[in-house]
Amino acid sequence: MEDSNTMTIIRADTAGIPHCAHNDKERELIHVDCASHIYPDGSVGIHDMCFYVQKNEIVALCGPNGSGKSTLIEHLNGLLTPSKGNIAVNGRSITTDEHTNLWREVGVVFQQSDDQLFAPTVLDDVMFGPLNLGLSLDAAKDSAMEALEAVGAADLVSKLPNYLSGGQKRLVSIAGILAMKPRIIALDEPTSDLDPVHSGMVEHLIYDLKERFGISVVIATHDLDLAARIADRICLVRQGSVFAEGAPAEIFYDEVLLRETGLKPPQIVQVYLAYCQMRGIVADYNPITIEETMEAIRRQ
Amino acid sequence: MSATSLSDHIPDLNLITYYAETRRTCFSRVSPWTKFSLLILIIFLVTLTKDFIILAGLYSIVLGSYAGARLPVRKLFAWYALPVIFVLSLVGIMAWNEPGNAVISFSIAGIPFMLTDKGILLIITLLLKALTVVTYSLFFLMTTRYQHFSAMIYRIFPSPIDQIFLMAYRFLFLTLAMTGSIIKAVRSRGGGLIHSIHTQGQLFAEIFALVFIRSFERSERVHKAMIARGFSGSYRTAAEVPALHLYEYVILGICAAVVITVALNDITIWRIVTP
């Protein structure tokens, strides 16, 4: 996140039409190009959605309930196909048939782990994806064990998913995706319903996915504190499209933008702004983590 | 009663699985294939024989094994409620006016009713048959780890029946937990107490409908999560079922011989051992 203070905010124009940011095409893994999706009941899931993921980055999709975050994630994985617009992988637009193979590129960790863990044992569940990739039973087992070790859940291998705690279920869900070795992992509300300890473990794991495994991560979350701590880029989603995007340090200090999106700044930002107001100083630096905030206060 | 148990008289799936996963006795080390084969033999035996002594002996052995495996006997007797009600609802009519010595007799509107010693024996015999199979099935489930059980299902049943079984078991837990929390929510607001049959019936119908709708929604989410990992119609389990030891082959051979002898000769074990 070294360049987090240098990225500029790109936002929808005055007519509300968003623009795809001029990202680095060399690093681009997947690009949702002005896609729209209308559900069979006529409700609009996303419209004119422009979104991309680059190599080795963590992108946070932040927005209120029903803003289209989950619908976008389902498009990334190929669970939904856009009614309008298209999706490009590695710079090439994919055909309708190829949508069904997007799961090989983008793994999704769903919000409710109980919906994801369906197999009789943890090992069976984590092996499910690798077997679908065409791996042999032994190779799938090895891949599953490797993934379980990576998330620190190797001791759960023969357990029944029913007897796992919420945090363990979330770790196993992530292992189930990691075992498939996708290039991007999208997590829908990864820390919801978790206690602080497990929440911290999942957060650390998300960071590890990028740093250790070189996997790009997309998180859809209401937890702006989490997004502030780990994301390289924030996309504010409102009414089915990306309303603005930029570095956390810029987005989370733009109170007007957050208010327009229906969000509140992360607590650390609120504390720092309150501190600056109390001391009567103008913040010339936008800290977004505890360490950065401590440093900013120390410098004053 | 655990969180997912609806009644003391309905076998608690959570408790059954807890024993299977945690309780380690000599019966846990027996191959699941042996226990399954014995279940088949027991079903054959109780179907073929009407001999009270054989049935009583078999029930005693099964109950003794259940207790020997350190499984909860008091719970078992509570769980007998449903099979007993089922058997009595069937035999309650058949047992009357059986030929034999009258034990109870009376008449209603000129129609004579007589319960004979043979009628009572019929009730006891059928109860023994039912309870033997129920007890052994629970013993089998409570001494077999689920990963072995699922591997057996995967090997025995053809697709898609095996897939349905494998997924159904996992989601039975979730459905029971969901039903439990709905009932709790109803009770917490004063519901669930018997005011009238009509009110109670309506309440249960509403709970049933809610469970059905939520289960349907969950199944859609589960399917979506499976598709997201490339599900193409089938999945397999990795677990291996422990193979039979030599002594298990011997036990199975003896048991099979006993069942065949009973089936072919229609004579009691008592007559075999004391000619």
Q: For residue B218, which residues of chain A lie inside 8 Å, CB to CB?
A: 114-115
Residue A101 near residue A133 (C-beta atoms within 8 A)? no
Where is average pLDDT lowest: A21-35, A70-84, A145-159?
A21-35
The pLDDT of residue A224: 93
Q: How many CB atoms lie within 10 A of CB A136?
A: 10
What confidence tier does A1 reach under pLDDT thresholds 50, 70, 90? very low
Q: Across the interface, which of B222, B227, B238 has its CB nearest the CB of A123?
A: B238
* Residues facing residue A216 across a β-bridge: A184
Q: For residue B230, which residues of chain A lie inside 8 Å, CB to CB?
A: 103-104, 129, 132-133, 180
Q: Across the interface, which of A79, A114, A137 has its CB nearest the CB of B174?
A: A114
Please check the confidence at residue A273 and state whether its pLDDT lies above 60.
yes
CB burial class (10 A; 0-12, 13-18, 19+) of residue A209? buried
Q: Report the amino acid identity of residue B158.
A: P
Cβ contact, residue pair B17, A162, below 8 Å: yes
Q: Does B167 touch chain A (CB under 8 A)?
A: yes
Q: For residue B20, which residues of chain A lie inside 8 Å, CB to CB?
A: none
Residue A144 near residue B235 (C-beta atoms within 8 A)? no
Q: Give percent of chain B above pLDDT 70.
A: 92
Q: Does B237 touch chain A (CB under 8 A)?
A: yes
What's the gap in Å between the CA of A108 and the closest CA on chain B?
7
Summary mean pLDDT of chain B: 86
Cβ contact, residue pair A161, B170, below 8 Å: yes
Best A75, A132, A173 member to test B by mutation, with max B CBs in 10 Å, is A132
User: CA-CA distance, A253 to A250, in Å (whole number)?
Assistant: 5
For B4-51, the pLDDT digits (tens) are 556 788 888 889 989 998 888 889 889 999 999 999 999 999 998 888
Cβ contact, residue pair B225, A107, below 8 Å: no
Cβ contact, residue pair A121, B239, below 8 Å: yes
What confidence tier does A22 reach under pLDDT thresholds 50, 70, 90? low
A–B CB contacts, 8 A cutoff, strictly below: 97
User: CA-CA distance, A224 to A218, in Å (whole number)?
Assistant: 14
As a three-state string, the secondary structure of chain B is CCCCCCCCCCCCHHHHHHHHHHCCCHHHHCCHHHHHHHHHHHHHHHHHCCCHHHHHHHHHHHHHHHHHCCCCHHHHHHHCHHHHHHHHHHHHHHCECCCCCEEEEEEECCEEEEEEHHHHHHHHHHHHHHHHHHHHHHHHHHCCCHHHHHHHHHHHCCCCHHHHHHHHHHHHHHHHHHHHHHHHHHHHCCCCCCCCHHHHHHHHHHHHHHHHHHHHHHHHHHHHHHHCCCCCCCCCCCCCCCCCCHHHHHHHHHHHHHHHHHHHHCCCHHHHHCC
Q: For residue A77, which residues of chain B lie inside 8 Å, CB to CB?
A: 228
- Minimal Cα distance from B4: which residue of A? A162
Q: For residue B171, which residues of chain A lie inside 8 Å, CB to CB?
A: 118
Cβ contact, residue pair B174, A124, below 8 Å: no
Cβ contact, residue pair B230, A158, below 8 Å: no
What confidence tier does A2 reach under pLDDT thresholds 50, 70, 90? very low
3-state secondary structure of A34: strand
- Minimal Cα distance from B22: which residue of A? A159
* Residues facing residue A52 across a β-bridge: A31
Helix (H) or strand (E) holding A47: strand A44-54
Residues of A with CB under 8 A from a CB of B: 74, 77, 79, 103-104, 107-108, 110, 112, 114-121, 123-124, 127-129, 131-133, 137, 140-141, 158, 160-163, 176-177, 180
Residues in chain B, overall count = 275
Cβ contact, residue pair A121, B147, below 8 Å: yes
Q: For residue A117, which residues of chain B lie inside 8 Å, CB to CB?
A: 170
Q: Across the interface, which of A140, A141, A176 has its CB nearest the CB of B229?
A: A176
Strands (E), A167-274: 184-188, 216-221, 233-238, 241-246
3-state secondary structure of A235: strand
For B172-220, the pLDDT digits (tens) are 888 888 888 888 887 777 776 566 677 777 888 888 898 899 889 988 9
The pLDDT of residue A71: 93
- Minimal Cα distance from A174: which residue of B? B229
ipTM here? 0.83
3-state secondary structure of A186: strand
